Amino acid sequence: MMTAESPKDPPASKLAVTLSPRAVEMAKARLQKRGTPDAALRLGVKGGGCSGFGYVVEFSDDPPRERDRVFDFDGVRVYVDKKSLVYLAGTTLDWEQTLMKSGFKFLNPQEAASCGCGHSFTVK
Amino acid sequence: MTLGLTPTYGLDLSALDARYHELSKVVHPDRQAGRSPAERRRALSLAVDVNAAYRALRDPVRRAEAMLARGGRASDRAAPSPAFLMDVMELREGLAAARAASDLGRVRGMADEVRARRDRVIAGLAAAFGAGRDDDAVPLVAELRYLARFLDEVRAIEEEADA
Amino acid sequence: MSVLFDIFDPKAAPRPIGIDLGTTNSLVACVRDGRPECLRDCDGVALVPSVVSYGARGHVVVGAEAARLQSAHPEDTVASVKRFMGRGADDPETRRLSSLRFEPPTSEADSRVVRFRVADRVVSPVEVSAEILRVLAARAREELNGVGGVVITVPAYFDDAQRQATKDAAKLAGLEVLRLLNEPTAAALAYGLEKKQNGTFAVYDLGGGTFDVTILRLDDGVFHVRATGGDSALGGDDFDRAIAESRVLPALGVTAPGPDVRRLALDLARRAKHALTEHAEVELSLPREGSAPLVLTRAELDGILRPIVERTGVACRRALRDAELSPTELTGVILVGGSTRSPTVRAYVRELFGVEPLCELDPDEVVALGAAAQAELLAGEGGVDDVLLLDVLPLSLGIETMGGVVDKILPRNTTIPAEARSTFTTYADRQTGFELHVVQGERELAADCRSLARFTLRGIPPMPAGMARLEVTFSVDADGLLHVSAREVTTGIEQRVEVKPTYGLDDDAIEQMLLSALDHGEDDLAARRLAEARIESEQVLTVTRQALATDAALLEPGERDQIEAAMAALVAALDCANASLIHLANEDLERATHAFAGRRMDAAIARAIGGKQLGEVERSVEGAKGIEAHLAAERS
């Protein structure tokens, strides 16, 4: 897996997120279906939810912002703003299919507790 | 309007339903997404007409009246035979008595009898219109009206008893 | 446990949603990946208790948290507000067992609406319902990028005033109502889409506060309602009341309970009812020193509930008669509403219809799922082209005539949209005004029916009695809402009346609430109007452009120029920040496209009836009595 982070920022290399191969495949499919194969994904953390923080995964049609880190997984570009990266460091975005539902899943080693459904979480 | 069906008294009710559904899929207000307000308004007035026509066509009395009107005959002046009127008067007296005695079983029995009779009149009308004998249909339409009114009364009694 | 996320699209178009605004619980649903699903909270719970709790200093809490506040603040917490929708202050409903404080009306106009005194203010049922709708819309907004139009379900047996109140609540919550949909029809839609089985079905819908029965035929995607009936004040709440009154209050030894004791008794009753759904016996410990626990068996519960449940039979039998069906002709009976979980209810339904009822879909969720499916259809999305709901008017509409007798103008179970006319005359010489009293219901006398509106047709030229001809037209739209217009035929004096129910809030009151709900009052309202006018205009321009492109062949010479000029005027109006100017330009465009729209509709109909020329078909038929042959007239 390749990352497009800048080499002159060494501590940042520890602050990284990854996408599982299945997540890469599904992200590509979703971008394709949306008609914007070249758009990026934005991962992040926002305040709110019942356990403190909530995860964000959304499409982004714009170029990265100044405070964003950009990753590239087999052509799927992923933006994470630096603030969110603090909470997301080490996270793998996976894709899962259950009997009822399918979707992306945040595997975050820093997550201390999540509310019943995982929409929000607290950090260790 | 007959919703584009061939005007015939012995109307196939399932064909009527099918046609009504086809037309509703075009004109019903729910099906106007992506149309302009002018088209929506026009569709609404058509939907109202289609609903009214469907209701009229399903009603054997109104269907018969419309068939007579097509042939240029008025249906409202027709009188049933005196024998029929005597029959109906007796039936009504019987119904009033059953109602007074709260004899719902008797009311239902009479209703079944009248329903069978109504179905025979409807068959007679279909035969008359089918053979182009519109004149023969005139007294039958009047009979049908009396029988329909009798059944309405039965409904009212049943409802009263139920409440 | 961890949630599965979909990628959120900040540029996605707003999505249509369906809302089941229930007596006890409310839900919101949306179609995703072609299937309707309920939107859930953090804990996976779809139900939002329809409870609103008002705190001092304007603090409002809705849902589960409000339900928790109920025992501590029974008077400031409104539950089952749906029972009061569209009802007047003198309605019997307001005198039943309740922990609420009813605000006595100060004027006659005031008495048209029930009002509750809660914490620091006085609120109407419309405002309370709007709070619930806001919370549901917020949940949808959180999950979807934006909320487009909304389909809100109402009991099929809701009258005009209750429907209007529901629509007003949505307006107050800032929602665009695509359609009010009858609850049983929504449930049938969810079932029908799931099972795709043709046949005649009864939908037995017993909720927290309302009972509906609907008989409908499902034919290849067309849901054709044949008859509907019910009781808009009968439901699971009545079970709780009956248990509380017959068992809990006596056990507590209370004869004149205050609000908190009543609340407690109802709570205990509800708990007993739920426990007895699965168990044969329940033991309730009473919060009273030294009192033995109250033991209740399922057989005892049956005895208490049975008379209430049997009241549903009247409406069921009547609906079957209206549909001209016997129970044996039914393909199946669909159970809807939380109260159909009760074994007493299930046993009764089995007895009544002679079939094992269907309950595969969650009876709490099925209505919201159907509403979401209908919202999707109305928004023109989803491509489910063959689905159509043909619904009916639940209660007859009429006019009071001489002697207080009702002249029924539109009978119950008429398929909507529908229109009917009736002609009246003056009864005094030189009479210049004519009072019309619009009522809804099945009874012979106007006094026994629901009064919807009273208005006076004025300016009739003085004529001898019986000379004037007053033609009254009733139109019922697809939401089941009535519009009335009246016309004096000999002189052509026309008066169009929006029937705002006699019992209900008038437009000014709604406007006032809307203003006070917005932070900056009038500015916000003006801005919202402008935004709405702009969005509407953009849509009109888009569809007109499409119509011009696809049906250019239907244009008459010179017509395209006229339409394009009107379009250009509308585009220009959009640049000015003036809502009324935009509205005017919109109306001009509508006039310019009127004839073209008619031809396009006719062409669509001609395609539907098998490619025949409409004129040809029409020439071969005569108008049935009383029906204008509109099609033929427009065609020539």
Cβ contacts below 8 Å, chain A against chain C, sum to: 64
**Alpha-carbon torsion (A33, A34, A35, A38), positive or negative:** negative
pLDDT of residue C156: 92
Residue B94 is part of a domain; what is its CATH number? 1.20.1280.20
**C176-226 pLDDT, tens per residue?**
999 999 999 999 999 887 777 899 999 999 998 889 999 999 998 899 999
Q: Which of A34, A98, A103 sits opposite C5 (nearest CB)?
A: A103
Chain A: closest CA distance from residue C1 (Å): 6
pLDDT of residue C272: 93
Report the C-alpha gap between C280 and C196 in whole angstroms: 37
Closest to C302 measured CA to CA, from C273, C344, C339: C344
CB of B53 within 8 Å of a chain C CB? The answer is yes
Percent of chain A past pLDDT 90, that is, above it, reads: 35
Maximum average pLDDT range among A34-38, A75-79, A111-115 = A75-79
Report the C-alpha gap between B2 and C622 in whole angstroms: 7
Phi-psi region of C626 (alpha: psi -120 to 50; beta: other; left: phi over 0): left
Residue given tokens 């008002």 in the structure block: C54
Token couple for B35: 């149309």
B157 and B90 co-located in one domain: yes
pLDDT of residue B47: 92
Q: Which residues of C touch B11 (CB under 8 A)?
A: none
pLDDT of residue C296: 92
Amino acid at C305: L
Confidence bin at C503 (pLDDT 50/70/90): low
Confidence bin at C524 (pLDDT 50/70/90): low
Q: Going by C-beta distance under 8 Å and a sequence separation of 6 or more, which residues neighbour residue B32?
A: B39, B40, B43
Give the Å distances, CA to CA, from C150 to B55, C52, C177. 31, 21, 5
CB of C502 within 8 Å of a chain B CB? The answer is no
Residue A69 pairs in a beta bridge with A80
**B85-125 pLDDT, tens per residue?**
899 899 999 999 999 998 989 999 999 999 999 999 999 99
pLDDT of residue C223: 94
Number of Cα atoms under 13 Å in the Cβ half of residue C20: 39
Give the Å distances, CA to CA, from C224 to B29, C114, C227, C396. 15, 36, 9, 19
**A31-47 pLDDT, tens per residue?**
988 888 889 999 988 76
pLDDT of residue C616: 37
pLDDT at C41 over 70: yes
B53 and B92 co-located in one domain: no
CB of C390 within 8 Å of a chain B CB? The answer is yes
pLDDT of residue C82: 93
Percent of chain C past pLDDT 90, that is, above it, reads: 42
Domain A13-123, what architecture?
A: Sandwich (2.60)
Q: Encode burial over A89-124: b for 16+ CB neighbours within 10 A, e otherwise.
A: bebebbbbeeeeeebbbbebeebeebbbbbbbbeee
pLDDT at C254 over 90: no
Token couple for B17: 């339903």
Q: Which of B23, B29, B37 sits opposite C605 (nearest CB)?
A: B23
Q: Which of residues 285-314 of C touch B (CB under 8 A)?
A: 314
Chain C: closest CA distance from residue B89 (Å): 25
**B21-56 pLDDT, tens per residue?**
988 988 999 888 878 888 888 889 899 999 998 988
- Please give the DSSP secondary-structure letter assigned to residue C379: T
Q: Is C76 helix (H, G, I), strand (E, B) or coil?
A: coil
Task: Report the relative pairing of strands A40-47 and A53-60 from DSSP bridges.
Answer: antiparallel
Q: Is C97 helix (H, G, I), strand (E, B) or coil?
A: coil
pLDDT of residue C292: 79
- With 0-12 / 13-18 / 19 or more C-beta atoms within 10 angstroms meaning exposed / middle / buried, residue C384 is middle
CB contact under 8 A, C625 and B69: yes
CB of C617 within 8 Å of a chain B CB? The answer is yes
Chains B and A touch (3+ CB pairs under 8 A): no
CB contact under 8 A, C597 and B48: no
Chains B and C touch (3+ CB pairs under 8 A): yes
**C87-136 pLDDT, tens per residue?**
887 777 666 656 788 888 877 777 778 889 998 889 999 999 999 999 99
B54 and B93 co-located in one domain: no
B158 and B113 co-located in one domain: yes
Residues of C identified as active-site: 20, 82, 183, 205
Report the C-alpha gap between C291 and B44 in whole angstroms: 65
Q: What are the residue ranges of helices labelled H in A35-115?
A: 82-88
CB contact under 8 A, C7 and A59: yes
Task: Report the relative pairing of strands C48-49 and C35-38 from DSSP bridges.
Answer: unpaired
pLDDT of residue A77: 94
Q: Tally Cβ neighbours within 10 Å of residue B133.
A: 11
How many residues comprise chain A? Answer: 124
Report the C-alpha gap between B9 and C83 in whole angstroms: 47
pLDDT at C350 over 80: yes
B97 and B42 co-located in one domain: no
Q: Going by C-beta distance under 8 Å and a sequence separation of 6 or more, which residues neighbour residue C435?
A: C454, C455, C456, C457
Percent of chain B past pLDDT 90, that is, above it, reads: 32
pLDDT of residue C618: 38
Nearest CA in chain C to A49: C42
Touching partners of B (3+ C-beta pairs < 8 Å): C
CB contact under 8 A, C624 and B55: no
Report the C-alpha gap between A91 and A114 in whole angstroms: 15
What are the two backbone dihedrals, phi and then psi, of residue C487, each rounded to the nearest 5 degrees?
-145, 135
- Please give the DSSP secondary-structure letter assigned to residue C245: I
Number of H-type helices and E-type strands within chain C: 16, 26
Q: Which of A30, A50, A96 sits opposite C42 (nearest CB)?
A: A50
pLDDT at A114 over 90: no
Chains A and C touch (3+ CB pairs under 8 A): yes
Task: Check if the beta carbon of residue A74 is closer than 8 Å to that of residue A80.
Answer: no
**Domains along the sequence of chain C with CATH:** 236-306 (3.90.640.10), 397-508 (2.60.34.10), 518-608 (1.20.1270.10)
Confidence bin at A6 (pLDDT 50/70/90): very low
Token couple for C55: 């705190």
Residue given tokens 């602050």 in the structure block: A15
CB contact under 8 A, C624 and B1: yes
pLDDT at C629 over 80: no
The full set of domain ranges for chain A reads 13-123
Residue B71 lies in a domain: no
Average pLDDT, chain C: 84
pLDDT of residue C423: 87
Report the C-alpha gap between C61 and A101 in whole angstroms: 31
**C556-576 pLDDT, tens per residue?**
888 999 999 999 989 888 887
Residue B127 lies in a domain: yes
Report the C-alpha gap between C24 and C41 in whole angstroms: 17
Percent of chain C past pLDDT 70, that is, above it, reads: 88
Chain C: closest CA distance from residue A60 (Å): 8
CB of C219 within 8 Å of a chain B CB? The answer is yes
Q: Which of residues 538-567 of C touch B (CB under 8 A)?
A: 540, 543-544, 546-547
Chain C: closest CA distance from residue A123 (Å): 15
**C473-499 pLDDT, tens per residue?**
999 999 999 988 888 887 777 766 666
B53 and B88 co-located in one domain: no
pLDDT at C600 over 90: no
**Lowest-pLDDT range of B98-107, C148-157, C423-432, C503-512:** C503-512
Q: Tally Cβ neighbours within 10 Å of residue B51.
A: 23
Confidence bin at C525 (pLDDT 50/70/90): low
B90 and B54 co-located in one domain: no
C5, C37, C141, C143: best mutation site toward chain A, by most A Cβ within 10 Å? C5
pLDDT of residue C211: 94
CB of B118 within 8 Å of a chain C CB? The answer is no
Domain that holds residue B152: 82-162
Mean pLDDT of C236-261: 87
Mean pLDDT of C398-408: 88
Q: How many domains does chain B have?
A: 2
**Lowest-pLDDT range of A46-50, C441-445, C617-621:** C617-621
B95 and B132 co-located in one domain: yes
Closest to C477 measured CA to CA, from C535, C388, C410, C382: C410
Residue B28 lies in a domain: yes
How many residues comprise chain B? Answer: 163
Residue B39 lies in a domain: yes
Q: Which residues of C touch A96 (CB under 8 A)?
A: 4
- Please give the DSSP secondary-structure letter assigned to residue C334: E
pLDDT of residue C523: 65
Q: Tally Cβ neighbours within 10 Å of residue C464.
A: 11
Residue B65 lies in a domain: no
CB of C418 within 8 Å of a chain B CB? The answer is yes
Amino acid at C349: V
Closest to C237 measured CA to CA, from C69, C64, C80: C80
The continuous run of DSSP H or E covering A115 comes out as none
**C325-338 pLDDT, tens per residue?**
999 999 999 999 99
pLDDT of residue C144: 82
Give the Å distances, CA to CA, from B27 to A48, B39, C606. 47, 10, 11
Q: Which residues of C touch A51 (CB under 8 A)?
A: 42
Q: Is C631 helix (H, G, I), strand (E, B) or coil?
A: helix
pLDDT at C242 over 90: yes
